[in-house]
Structure 1
Amino acid sequence: MSKLPGSAGVTLLGDKSLDFYRDPVSFYLLKLDKHGGRVFQSRLLNRPTVFICSVQATREMLCEKSHMFVKDPTDLMTSVYGETIVTTNGEEACLLRLSLSSLLTGRWLDSSRDYISSVCERCLKDLSLSGDPQCVYSGIKRLGTEMVLGLFLNVRAEEQPELFQEITQLCTQHWHGLISAPVKVPLWSSGFSTALDARDRLMAIIKDKLENDQQGFVGCVRSLPLPHSSSASQHLLLFISALIPKALASLLTSFTLALAGNNQKETRQRARTNCGYLQAILLEVQRLWPPFIGGRRIAVQDSTLAGFHVPKGHTAVYISHGVHRDPEVFQQPDNFLPERWSGGNAGQEHLLCSFGGGPRNCIGSKLTHIVLKEVCLYLLENYHWCLDPPSQDLQYKWLPVSRPNNPPTVTFTKLDQSGSDRKDNNIGTKAEK
């Protein structure tokens, strides 16, 4: 057993929260260079914290030793979302997982595919119509919002536009109030107050839906064996939050950027006709540009991670960006190489931790995969695309959800029915000159 490298600092004066939240990737890279290893300690949110950038240590924490590292019961998420599958521990978390997993992987999921396809068609069919560059992130975020409100709350943008707009605005206020708390301390009170007010208004809408809707996800979730009377409404609040559309927009923006331009034409053609290769691309996008920077747990007893002693009461934070670039597992870790998933990393998808791992992994991963694949296939089968203008600042910011600092703009060119670029449309060529 080895002592953790680094220092946990002292109360307040040794806290590194501002450094971490300002740029978490630069923060961990500097520490890795200083300590020469992928596990180290520092101080975050005024608590001694173990930072993990190693596949081995992350797997230990999330899988083999998950009972020793639990969700923080005082976490802000509990105040904002209540006692849900992502905030509870122990038996209650297990019961919630059993109930909700049966719904999200069963008949409801199969019945949702037509709606997912219809949203893709409606939101993506006119990308090339104006000939102007499109902001990919905002467009996909709108698509994601339509998905979650239609799937989880039976509110469809084309049928109830006013209610859809009201809920969208409230979800945005709720999210912005939540993320303001740990980062912008002087604004914590007003931001958090706004989030709670938006939450109360959303809960009123959700409760009305639970009382009056018999169909779809709302009708199914109300009949589940949940631990208390408010569980259904609290989970619906979680499922319609801005978190899911932003995660989808993050991954799909990265996918679009990775495959943009004439130099990626063969890659797009191969992905269009080979589902296995498309899956490899999506895994590589998730590996290099995970939507969330990582996850946080509390050690409830003395333990070890990768041979380092972790005292009871320490926070443990895994950094997905660093874990996914662990050179012990991923050769050429900074390069975009979809072929790795049919080569040296074949069958190792479980080593990615963008959506957690082990017994507490994301229960919506199958739904997320369906949506990602549907959107990507629609784009691949209908468009050629390129950055417009060609030179843009694509430097990423990593909190609260990863995406380029400056929203990139992309020009889409319609393909003909054979999957080739239309000869009468040279927008893409012009943009790349």
Structure 2
Amino acid sequence: MSKLPGNAGVSVLGDKSLEFYRDPVSFCQQRIEKHRSRVFQCRVLNRPTAFICSVQGMREILCEKSNMFLKDPTDLMTNMYGDTVVTTNGEEACLLRLSLSSLFTGSCLKSSNDYITSVCERCLKDLSLSGGPQCAYSAFKRLGTELVLGLFLNVRAEEQPELFQEIMQLCTQHWHGLISAPVNVKVPLWSSGFSTALDARDKLMDIIKDKLENDTQGFVGSLGSLPLPDSSSASQHLLLFISALIPKALASLLTSFTLALSGNQQTRQRAMEEPDYLRLVLLEVQRLWPPFIGGRRIADKDSTLAGFHVPKDYGAIYISHSVHRDPEVFQQPDDFLPERWSGRNAGQEHFLCSFGNGARGCIGTKLNDVFLKEACMYLLKHYDWCLDPPSQDLEYKWLPVSRPANPPTIAFTQLDLKTSDSSDNG
């Protein structure tokens, strides 16, 4: 057992939170090089914290030793969403996951397919109409919003446009509270972002409770009939499922997908013709550009991670971007090589942690895969695309959800205008 490289710093003065949040990727890379270790320590959120940037360390914290590293019960996610499958620990988390898992698998998943297909068509069919470049990220975020509100809340944009717009605005306000300072201040003519977010949450909860009481169909009806711990649990989970988190994650991955394949006709053609190859492409997109930078835990007892001693009450943060580029596991870690997933890294999808991993991994991962494959296949079948202008700043920002800091503009060209026109006229 070795001592963690680095320095935990002194209280307050030694805190590195601002430096980390400003650029988490550079923050970690500099320390990996300085300490010659993919596991190191420093002070973040005024707590000594172990940073985990290796596949081995990630697998330990999320899988093998997950019962020793717990979710922080005081974090902002709990403040904004309450006790959910994402924020609870121990037996409560296991029971919630067991209750909810049926909604994201099997027949429930299959019943969503037609709606997912129709939303992809409606949101993506006009990408080439303007004749000029599009901010693809915005179009993809709208697609994600329509998917989650339609599937989880039975609110469909084409059937209830006013209610859809109201909920979308409230979700945006609520999201901004998640990424603002948790200061609840309200004075005449001004409210803090956090205060505005709490107001938005209350309005969303009123809509959600009304849905749970009066709607017996689809996901809402199924959720309302589950054996959950108390009357507020269903509404808190619905708030989580319709939040801006999912549309932003989907928009992040779809944007990275379009950028990775921009101008690459051969790769696009192969991905369209071979579903297995599309799967490899999407794994590689997720590896290089994970939508979430990672996750944070608190050590419940003295433990070790990747051979280093982690004392009780230390924070532990796994960094997806760094884990996914661990050269011990991924050769040429910075290169876009979909073929690696059918070669050296075949069967190693469990080394990715974009959506967590192990027993506490994202409960909706399979549904997210369906979203992604359907949207990507629609793009591949209907469009050619390239960056317009060809030279753009594609530097990523990684918090709170990854995307190019300057949303790229992409020119989409319809692949078969005649076929498209005839089907529209028909």
TM-score by length of 2: 0.95
The CA deviation at 1:344 is 0.3
User: Pairwise mapping of residues 61-80 of structure 1 onto structure 2 (< 5 A)?
Assistant: 61-80=61-80
Name the SS of the counterpart of 1:66 in structure 2: coil
Query: Which amino acid is 2:7 matched to?
Result: S
- Assess if the C-alpha contact under 8 Å between 2:42 and 2:49 holds in 1: yes
Task: Tell me what 1:232 maps to.
Answer: 234
For residue 281 of structure 2, what is the amino acid of its counterpart? I
Which whole-Å CA distance do the structure 2 matches of 1:237 and 1:134 have between them?
30
**1:191 maps to what in 2?**
193
Aligned-residue offset at 1:416: 2.1
CA offsets per residue over residues 375-420 of structure 1, 9 Å max, x none? Answer: 000000010000011111000000000000101001111112899x
Runs ≥4 residues deviating over 4 A: none
Q: State how far apart, in whole Å, the 1-side matches of 2:142 and 2:233 are.
A: 27
- Measure the CA separation in 1 of the matches of 2:36 and 2:57: 15
Q: 2:360 maps to which residue?
A: 360
The correspondence of residues 330-409 of structure 1 with structure 2, limited to 5 A, is: 330-409=330-409
Q: Distance in 2 between matches of 1:346 and 1:124?
A: 32
Give 1:243 deviation, angstroms. 0.2
Inter-partner Cα distance in structure 1 for 2:60 and 2:177: 33
Q: Tell me the distance in 1 between the aligned counterparts of 2:197 and 2:25.
A: 28
Letter aligned with residue 203 of structure 2:
R
1:283 alignment partner in structure 2: 283
Name the aligned partner's letter for residue 215 of structure 2.
Answer: D
- For residues 287 and 136 of structure 2, what CA distance do their matches in structure 1 show? 20
- Give per-residue Cα distances to partners, 1:80-116, cap 9 Å, x unaligned: 1000000001111001000111111132211000000
Q: Which amino acid aligns with 1:175?
A: W
Aligned residue number for residue 82 of structure 2 = 82
Structure 2 distance, partners of 1:199, 1:240, is: 11
Distance 1:384 1:103 in 2: 36
The whole-number CA distance in structure 2 between the counterparts of 1:390 and 1:357 is: 37
RMSD between superposed Cα atoms in Å: 1.5
Q: How does 1:82-101 map to 2 (within 5 A)?
A: 82-101=82-101
Match of 2:274 in 1: 274
Q: Deviations over 1:335-370 (max 9, x none)?
A: 000000000000000100000001000010000000
Distance 1:182 1:15 in 2: 18
The percentage of counterpart residues that share the same residue type is 79
Q: Which amino acid aligns with 1:29?
A: Q
What is the total number of aligned residue pairs between the two structures? 414
Match of 1:242 in 2: 244
Residues of 2 paired with 1:193 and 1:242: CA distance?
17
Q: Please give the secondary structure, in 2, of the residue aligned with 1:181.
A: coil
Question: Is 1:415–2:415 an aligned residue pair?
Answer: yes
Aligned to 1:257: 259
- State the 1:182 CA deviation: 7.2
Q: For 1:146-200, what per-residue CA distance to the aligned partner results, in whole angstroms no more than 9, with x for missing partners?
A: 00000000000000000000000000000001111279xxxxx812111111100
Task: Classify the secondary structure of the residue corresponding to 2:192.
Answer: helix
Secondary structure, counterpart of 1:317 in structure 2: strand
Q: Is the CA contact (8 Å cut-off) linking 2:182 and 2:194 kept in structure 1?
A: no
Q: Indicate whether 1:120 and 2:120 are aligned.
A: yes
Q: In 1, Cα distance between the equivalents of 2:407 and 2:102?
A: 37
Q: What secondary structure sits across from 2:238 in the alignment?
A: helix
Whole-Å separation in 1 of the counterparts to 2:236 and 2:181: 20
Q: Which moved more, 1:409-418 or 1:173-182?
A: 409-418
Alignment gaps of 5+ in structure 2: 184-190, 422-426
Equivalent residue number for residue 131 of structure 1: 131
**Could you list the per-position Cα deviations for residues 43-102 of structure 1 after superposition, in whole angstroms to 9, with x for gaps in the alignment?**
110001000100001101100100000101111111110000000011110010001111
Matched residues in 1 for 2:109 and 2:33: separation? Answer: 45
Residue number among 198, 204, 207 corresponding to 1:205 in the alignment? 207
The SS at the match of 2:9 is coil
Q: Which residue number corresponds to residue 315 of structure 2? A: 315
Distance 1:86 1:74 in 2: 13
Q: Which one is further off, 123-132 or 359-368?
A: 123-132
How many angstroms apart in 2 are the aligned matches of 1:114 and 1:417? 24
Please give the alpha-carbon distance, in whole angstroms, between the structure 2 residues aligned to 1:17 and 1:194: 25
The amino acid across from 1:368 in the alignment is N
CA distance in 1, matches of 2:121, 2:74: 42
CA–CA separation in structure 2 for the residues paired with 1:348 and 1:75: 31
